[in-house]
Structures are given as structure tokens and as C-alpha cells.
Structure 1
Amino acid sequence: MSEEQNEQKKLVELMRDMPIAMMTTFGLEGPHSFPMARQEVEPSAELWFITAQDTRHVRELGTDPRVSLTFSSRDSWVAMTGRAELVRDQAKLKELWNTFAEAWLPGGPDNPDAVLIRVDVERAEYWDTPGGKISSLISFAKTKLTGDTFDADHGTVRP
């Protein structure tokens, strides 16, 4: 397996426990960040989000499709950049619909305000502290005692 394939596999593993992203748009008023729930379980070069069409972030995507996504867990972090597109696809919306979406958009996938955002990922980067909290504490103590840098696994993926 190539290094790129290993990094892609590592990214997929890390993101299993990271369903919520902070999405940043770059509209006319400058950067705007907000939490969004990722709908696909397996991350790929394409990520899906359900949203209401009458929102600031949807308007901002109309002027500038660039987005930044950040995900985090207790001991891992992922940052992605890409281009977002508003998608009105009723079949895909029904496929991705879940109870979490229902909490934000009552009425189910037939709610006329419900739309999809598809993000085509151009670059992803991750940081991981393997071994969890105990390993992180040991690495931190080692850093303080020896002056070495903190041990973290880092990789970049370009789908």
C-alpha cells in the first residue's frame, strides 16, 4: 500500500468518530463558521450535508463556493478545504435523511426548505495522538522533561 493510500485509510478511520464539522464559508462579509452534521459515514472526496436553503451560508456559497471544514475528537483533528455546491436532489435527500436532520428541519425530506450541500474535498490534513488520552499525557510529560516536540501523527491527503 502506498503512503498516500495509508494516509487516506488513516483519515477514514479518524473521521468515523467525527460526525460534526465546523464549516467556514467566505462570502462578501468575510469568513463565517457554523456547525454542520456530515451525512455520509464513509468520508471520501465528496461530503454531504443537509441544510435549510434560506440561510446565510447558502447565500454565501452563491457568491464564493470555497469552504473550509474542521472536525475534532478527543485526541484527533482533521482540516479540509474544498468547493461546495447546493444540490436539489430529492432522492439523495431522502437517502441521507435522519432524525438529526429532522430536529433542524421538521417535515422530513419533503420540507421545501431542505436542500443538500455537497463539498468536493480538494485537500485534507489530519493530526492524531495515537493511544488516546494516556498516550497524550505521556507525550506531553516527555516534551516537558526532554524538550522534544509533542508526538503526533500527521498526514496530508489530496483526493
Structure 2
Amino acid sequence: MSSNAPSDAADARRRVTELVREARICMLTTTAVDGRMVSRPMALQEAEFDGDLWFFAYADSAKVRQIRVNPEVNVSFSDQRHNAWVSVSGTARESFDRAKAEQLWNPLLKTWFPDGLDTPGLTLLTVRAGSAEYWDSPNSAVVNLLGFAKAAVTGRPPEGGENHEVSY
């Protein structure tokens, strides 16, 4: 994939925002007390990515306990429909702000938090991005597969789309 810089950092940040918004489901990776990396699926609550990612969680969950010890996390998004991927590295923190929770709440969350915003132990996780990297391929999976096959025959890397790093 190309590592050419986009026209400017603002364009790259806008593209990260678009890709995050489209994917919405991610894998949040934390560090366990024994040093293992642990990932679990999470649903992003705020589609307007301004450098902060928001999630609901239980305050007594393993992920929250891990963040209290080591707040450095990674959040990865995969959008197979659009052949795009985003990796966001940042610092997480736990807090509960009722007004922010009301702003972010979605009725579908009752599946995990049956009492809604009054669910005992409900908290918010905020991940403040330090950097992000994205891979964006405008081609379909079939076109990408053909490109990989061609690369195997010719020995030249396939045309893979865009790959950019973004700092926040």
C-alpha cells in the first residue's frame, strides 16, 4: 500500500473520521496485569470522531480495571464492506458524566445495560487518540485478490490503496 502523505493532516483526520463512523464496531485492546494484550469487541457511541472515542462499560469489568492500571490502549476498526481498516492508539480513562451519557445513549444498549442509564455500575470509557493509521482500498475484495495473485506472479507489490498515519 502507498505510504504517501495526503494533501494535509486535516484531510487525513477527516478520512479517519469517515472510516471510524462507517465501521462503528471495533476491537478495544488493553494490557492485562500480567502483560498480555487483551482485545474485545466494543460499539462506538460517538460517530463524530474529534480525537475522542466513547464507549459504555461496567465499572467493575476487566477492561476498566486494566485501564486503571495501564491506560494505553489500541482501538481497531475493520470495515469489510469498504475494504478499510483503522488503528487508533491512545489513552483511555473511565468516568461517568450523566449529561454526556444521556447524549450518547442508544436504546439498543439496553441489551447490555438493562436499566438504561440507571444500570448499577454503568460508566463511560473515553479514548483520547494520540495517533491513528488507516488503510483504505477503493477496490472490491475480488479486485484486491486478483491484485495479490498478479503480484505473486510478477513479483511486484499489488496496488493496494492508501495507507496514512495521523497524529492528534
Q: Return the TM-score normalized by structure 2.
A: 0.87
* 1:154 pairs with 2:159: no
User: Could you tell me how far 1:126 is from its partner in structure 2?
Assistant: 0.7
Q: 1:27 maps to what in 2?
A: 32
Q: 2:144 maps to what in 1?
A: 136
1:25–1:32 contact (8 Å) kept in structure 2: yes
User: Could you tell me how far 1:86 is from its partner in structure 2?
Assistant: 0.3
Structure 2 counterpart SS, 1:94: helix
* 1:104 counterpart (104, 108, 112): 112
In structure 2, runs of 5+ residues without a counterpart are: 1-5
Structure 2 counterpart SS, 1:143: helix
* 1:7 pairs with 2:9: no
Once the two structures are superposed, residues 60-101 of structure 1 have per-residue CA deviations (whole angstroms, 9 ceiling, x without a partner) of: 111111111111011111111100000110111111111332
RMSD: 1.6
* 1:83 pairs with 2:88: no
* d(CA) in 2 for partners of 1:9, 1:103: 32
User: Could you tell me how far 1:145 is from its partner in structure 2?
Assistant: 3.1
Q: 2:70 maps to what in 1?
A: 64
1:129–1:135 contact (8 Å) kept in structure 2: no
Structure 2 counterpart SS, 1:54: coil
Q: 1:40 maps to what in 2?
A: 46
* d(CA) in 1 for partners of 2:146, 2:11: 26
Q: Return the TM-score normalized by structure 1.
A: 0.92
* d(CA) in 2 for partners of 1:106, 1:95: 18
Structure 2 counterpart SS, 1:17: helix
User: Could you tell me how far 1:2 is from its partner in structure 2?
Assistant: 4.0
User: Could you tell me how far 1:50 is from its partner in structure 2?
Assistant: 0.6
Structure 2 counterpart SS, 1:16: helix
Structure 2 counterpart SS, 1:137: helix
* d(CA) in 2 for partners of 1:124, 1:71: 11
The residue type paired with residue 33 of structure 2 is L
Give runs of ≥4 in structure 1 deviating > 4 Å: none
* Identity among equivalent pairs (%): 35
Once the two structures are superposed, residues 84-124 of structure 1 have per-residue CA deviations (whole angstroms, 9 ceiling, x without a partner) of: 00011011111111133211111111212211000000010
Q: Which has the higher contact order (CA 8 A, sep 6+)?
A: 2
Q: 2:3 maps to what in 1?
A: none
Structure 2 counterpart SS, 1:11: helix
* d(CA) in 1 for partners of 2:143, 2:19: 16
